[in-house]
């Protein structure tokens, strides 16, 4: 299954119905914040600085992984490495124009019942949650 990336402008709470519907359909969603300012524990940073491939901290119910990298992030590599098995990645960034091609924009429609997907300069594609979840199973979900 292909992992589809969409950009979002609101926080994860606005996508709660989509998280539930995809989980019930046996699909997974990932969340990616490209502009995040994260201060990992000092020990993870030190391990990475000394050459650890990855440094991981575990807590009750969560984990944090630090992987040193050189150069800028490449979206295709990020998705492959961190979101394997996800049908959809909701990606938030304030600088899409600086990152190359913008992925489609996913947002809740004003009616609160449907979703809008905006691809480039095309009119918004409106879908119910069920239609959106079904579309995620296709290789090109934003085309008819």
Q: What is the DSSP letter of 49?
A: H
pTM of structure: 0.85
pLDDT digits (tens, 9 = 90+) for 64-94: 888 888 777 778 888 898 899 999 999 998 7
Burial of residue 133 (CB within 10 Å: 0-12, 13-18, 19+) is buried
**Six token digits for residue 14:** 């606005």
């Amino acid at each position: 299954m292909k992992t589809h990336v969409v950009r979002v402008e609101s926080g994860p709470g606005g996508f709660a119905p989509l998280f539930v519907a995809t989980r019930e359909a046996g699909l997974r969603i990932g969340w990616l914040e490209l502009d995040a300012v994260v201060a990992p524990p000092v020990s993870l940073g030190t391990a990475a600085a000394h050459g650890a491939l990855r440094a991981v901290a575990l807590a009750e119910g969560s984990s944090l992984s630090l992987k040193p990298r050189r150069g800028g992030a490449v979206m295709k590599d990020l998705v492959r490495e961190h979101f394997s098995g996800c049908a959809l990645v909701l990606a938030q960034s304030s600088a899409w124009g600086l990152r190359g091609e913008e992925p489609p924009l996913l947002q809740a429609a004003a009616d609160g019942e449907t979703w809008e997907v905006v691809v480039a300069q095309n009119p918004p594609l409106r879908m119910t949650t069920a239609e959106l979840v079904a579309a995620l199973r296709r290789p090109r979900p934003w085309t008819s």
